[in-house]
Every structure is written in structure tokens, then in C-alpha cells.
Amino acid sequence: MRMGGTFIGERTKACGDLEIEHQRCLCCVLVSAQPLVDCATWSLPGRILSTAELHGLAARVADDRDAWEHLVGAAVDGEGRHYAQLHRDEHVDVWVLVWTEEQDTGFHDHDVSCGAFHVAQGAVREDCLSVAAPRSRVLRAGEGHRAFDAAHVHQVGHGGGPPAVSIHACSPPLNRLGAYRIEEDGTLRRESISYEEELGAERPVEATVR
């Protein structure tokens, strides 16, 4: 249940005289503590990873299309947010996310976890929170990647065009994150939430595979 105020980055869609909030979700949800795909070729070091190592890991997984491509085929044709956990251990977790039109995460941080993502297909937009105005850029498959420390505040969303696919890695594995909202008096608040809360109403990509 959300407290009062508006989450930064939440989108609304006009429908007559009504405004309907698009459902928000963040990057991850805890599903299993066991590896879900064969990750032998990913060169996991068995310890907490640096941002540079997370960047490299996300790129390797993006190139390992056999690990995730079969999960996203049906998802790009459906509605709602689709995701799958590819790996989780005590040091790192890895996810594949599918993005379609008008989907974004809202502004959030990753608590104590560093992270990285790599665009494997289509285009993904990242907006970085700043005092003046959010700084935005569109990252495209083959050239789009981002690595960040735990203090980074951003929102990620679809970058336009066909459905997009991105690979995300966090170390240590993501357990909580901060969602940013504006109170009615203009005060900025950070709300600490579990990512199970954020993705509880969303569908895992596995459930869409035919």
C-alpha cells in the first residue's frame, strides 16, 4: 500500500475526464536462490562484483541468447511487464526484462547494490535524477549499456519502436530499493521497499511462454 504523494516518474494516461495510473514496477523480484539457467560460460568470480565486472557480465549474458531468447518470444507480443530471473547466488543476480510502449520503472535507487544493464534488443531509455531536470538518453542494442553504483538514482523505460530486451545484473543481489515520491507540499521522500512489492502484480515471462 502506498503512502500519499506522487512517485517521481509515474506516468498517467488520460481517459476522458479520468487519469489512469500506469502500473509501475522496478527491476527485480526474488524467485529462487538457485541458478535457473546454465551460467558456466558467464565467468562468475564467486564474490561481490565491481561495476566494471557487472557491465561485463551483463554484456556476456546479452550475447548468450540461448540463455534468454526462448523466454521473450511470447512476451513481446503480450501486454504488461515481463521478466525472468536467470541466475541468483549470494553474490549476484541476473535478469532479463522485456519493455513495450509506455513502460518505465519510476525513479529508484538500488539500496546497497551496484548494478549494470545491457540492451540486447530494441531501445531502452534511462532518465537520471538531478536537481535541475532529469537527464535522459536512449540506449540501443549493440551499443547501449550502463553500469552504476548503489547511490545512482534513475528510471528505465522503453525507448520507442519495437519491444526491447535488456539484461540486468546486481551485486550484491538486490533485496530492497528506494522509490522516490513528491509529497503534496513538494517534499521529496524516499520510500524503502522490497522488490517483491513492486513486481507482485506483474507476470513472470515464463508464464507467457507457449
Q: Are strands 12-15 and 176-182 parallel, antiparallel or unpaired?
A: unpaired
For residue 75, name the pLDDT band (cuts at 50, 70, 90): low
C-alpha R_g of the chain: 16
Coil, strand or helix at 207: helix
Q: How confident is the model at residue 76 (pLDDT cuts 50, 70, 90)?
A: low
pLDDT of residue 178: 93
Q: Is residue 119 part of a domain?
A: yes
| Any domain includes 55 | yes
Average pLDDT of the residues in 147-167:
93
Q: Give the chain's mean pLDDT.
A: 76
Which CATH number belongs to the domain containing residue 115 in this structure? 2.60.120.10
Q: Which three cell numbers stand for residue 120?
A: 540486447
Which residue range forms the structural domain that includes residue 49? 6-208
pTM higher than 0.85 for the full model? no
Confidence of residue 199 (pLDDT cuts 50, 70, 90): low
The side-by-side arrangement of strands in the sheet containing 164-171 is 145-148, 114-121, 164-171, 93-99, 82-88, 203-204
Tally the domains of the chain.
1
Sequence-ordered list of residues with C-beta below 8 angstroms from that of 139, at least 6 positions apart, any chain: 119, 123, 124, 125, 126, 145, 146, 159
Q: What is the reported pLDDT for 87? A: 92
